[in-house]
Structure 1
Amino acid sequence: MKVILKGWDSNFFNLKVGEYKVENNVGQNVKAADFDLIYCYSESEINLSLSNFLNSYSEIQLNFRKKIIPINYKHPEIFELNQLSEFNINELYELAYESGKYSRFKLDSKFSEKQFQELYEKWIDNSINSQFADIFLIFFKDEKITGFVTCNVGKDSASIGLLAVNENQQGKGIGRILIHSLESYLHKNSIDILNVVTQSENNVAIDSYKKMGFELITQKYIKHYWKL
C-alpha cells in the first residue's frame, strides 16, 4: 500500500507529510522513501519497521459519542464569537495552546514549540473564518474569554474540534457549561449526536466526558515516523 500525501500538513510544515492506514492490523510494504514524515494509523498496537525512518511518537486516540438529550440551556456568560464586537485574539491563542497540551504535535519532540503554537493559532484563525468550525461558543466574563468550544456540524451529527478552559479557571464547571450550551444549540438545529476525540493520557477530559454521558466508541493508534 502506498503512503497518501497530506497536502494541508505538507504545506503548513513545509515538509512532505503522508499517511498510512494499516489494514486488518497487518503492515504491508510501504513506499515511504519520498516522505519526510508519515502518520501511521491502526486499530490496534502495531510496530512497523520503515527503513531510514524513526518512530518518534505514539498515542492512542479515543473517540467518544453522546446522544444529545433534548435540552433548552442558556447561560449568561456563553456567547457565539460573532456576537462580540471585539475580542482579544491572543486570549483565544493562549486557550488553544492549553487545549492542545496533550496533542501529538505538542508531545512529539520532533515538532518545535513554535510549530505547535503556529498550528493551533492557524486552527483558531480558520475556526473564526468558518473553515474549520461551524460553531464557535465562548465563555466570556469580566471582559475576558475564559473558555471556548468549536464544533463542526454534519447532516446528522456534530464533532467538537477544540475545547479549552483557562488553566487558572479549570475545575469550576466551565467546560461542562460550554458543552451543555453546545448541546442546546445543536438540539435546536435538529442534531442529536455529538462526537469528541481526546487522547488516552488525558484522564481529566476522559472522566469529564464520561460524567456528561459520552461513551467510548472507537480507539485509534497513531504513530509518527520521521525520515532519518
Structure 2
Amino acid sequence: MKNRELNLELLPWDSTFFGFGVAKVVLAEAAESSFHQLRAKATAQGIRLVYCYVDPTDALSKNAVQQQSLPLLDRKATWIKRIDEQEFNAGEGVRVLAGNDAVTASLLELAWQSGAYSRFLLDPKIPYPVFQRLYEIWLHNTLQNNQAGVVLTTGAVGQETGLITLEQLEGGAAGIGLLAVDTKSRRRGLGQQLIRAAIQQAQQWQAPELRVVTQLDNIPACSLYERAGFLLQQVRLVYHWWL
C-alpha cells in the first residue's frame, strides 16, 4: 500500500519561543516508513521537534508511532457548549482584569496550575522553567489582548483563588484557554462560577458556542465541563517526536 503524502506544518510562534524549528503533522493511515520521509523533510527545514497528531481510531498510525517509541503526552479533548438565550449570572466574586492590571504571583501560580496535565510539562525534554515561561506568556498575551481576550478571576488582588481566560476565535466562537482553581480553594464551587462567568462573557460577544481544549486525562476539568453542559466533540492523540 502506497504511503499517503504527509505534510509538515512549520509553527512560527513555537519555533520562536523554543529557539529552534518546531512543526506539526497530522498522521493519517501512516506506515512506519512514513517517518523516514518526514525525517528527511524535517532535517531539510531545520526542525527539531514535531508534534504528531493521531486519531485514536487510526490503528495503522498508532502502530507506526509505537514503532518509533514516541511518548504519548496528550489525549487532546475538544469540548463544545452551544450558547442559548438563557441568561447566565456568575454572581458576585468574579473580577474582569484589564490590560493594565498587574500579573500577581498568585495569578502566575494559577496559570501554572492550569497546565498540570500539559504535554509541555509532561515532556521530560522540556525544562520546567520553559513550561512556566510558556504559560506566563499565555496569561500576559490574553490580558493585554483587550479586543479579543478576557481574564476572569476570583479572590482579592494578590490573593486570587481562581482563573479563567477567554478569547474570541475565528468564526465567532469563544474559547476557554486557561482554567484553574487554587489547590487550597477547591470544592467550593469556584470552577462552576468561573465557567458561568465565561458563558456570560460569550453571550456578550454573541458567540454561538463556547469551546475548550483540554486533556482527557484531566478528569476533574473534564467532569467540570460535562456538568456545565459541554459535549465532547473530538479526541486526538498527541506525541512529541524529537529529532
After TM superposition, the score normalised by the length of structure 2 is 0.83
User: In the aligned structure 1, how far is the partner of 2:102 from the partner of 2:21?
Assistant: 36
Matched, 1:37 2:49: yes
Contact 1:148–1:163 (CA<8 Å) still a contact in 2?
yes
Identity of aligned residues (%): 29
Summarize deviations over 1:10-60 as a string: whole Å, max 9, x none.
Answer: 11111211111123x335432232321110112225243699x76244321
Q: Which amino acid aligns with 1:144?
A: Q
User: In the aligned structure 2, how far is the partner of 1:162 from the partner of 1:186?
Assistant: 15
Q: 1:186 aligns with which of 184, 188, 202?
A: 202
Matched, 1:169 2:185: yes
Which SS does the other structure have where 1:19 is aligned?
A: strand
How far 1:170 moved relative to its partner? 1.3
Q: Which one has a larger percent helix, Structure 1 or Structure 2?
A: 2
Summarize deviations over 1:153-205 as a string: whole Å, max 9, x none.
Answer: 13432110111111111111111001101111222332231111111211111
Contact 1:56–1:110 (CA<8 Å) still a contact in 2?
no
Q: Which amino acid aligns with 2:16?
A: N
Q: Quick one: higher RCO (CA 8 Å, sep 6+), 1 or 2?
A: 1
Unaligned stretches of 5+ residues in structure 1: none
Aligned match of 2:212: 196
How far 1:207 moved relative to its partner? 1.2
User: In the aligned structure 1, how far is the partner of 2:48 from the partner of 2:93?
Assistant: 45
Contact 1:56–1:226 (CA<8 Å) still a contact in 2?
no
Aligned match of 2:82: 67
The equivalences for 1:1-228 within 5 A come to 1-23=6-28, 25-27=29-31, 28=34, 29-30=37-38, 31-33=41-43, 34-44=46-56, 46-48=62-64, 55-69=70-84, 70-82=86-98, 86-130=101-145, 134-141=149-156, 144-154=159-169, 155-227=171-243
How far 1:86 moved relative to its partner? 4.8
Q: Say what the alpha-carbon RMSD is for the aligned residues.
A: 2.5
Which SS does the other structure have where 2:7 is aligned?
A: coil
Q: Which amino acid aligns with 1:22?
A: L
Which SS does the other structure have where 1:114 is aligned?
A: helix
Which SS does the other structure have where 1:180 is aligned?
A: helix
The number of residue pairs the alignment matches comes to: 224
User: In the aligned structure 2, how far is the partner of 1:132 from the partner of 1:121?
Assistant: 20
Unaligned stretches of 5+ residues in structure 2: 1-5
Q: Which one has a larger percent strand, Structure 1 or Structure 2?
A: 1
How far 1:74 moved relative to its partner? 3.9
Contact 1:133–1:161 (CA<8 Å) still a contact in 2?
no
Contact 2:142–2:167 (CA<8 Å) still a contact in 1?
no
How far 1:143 moved relative to its partner? 5.7
User: In the aligned structure 2, how far is the partner of 1:182 from the partner of 1:49?
Assistant: 37
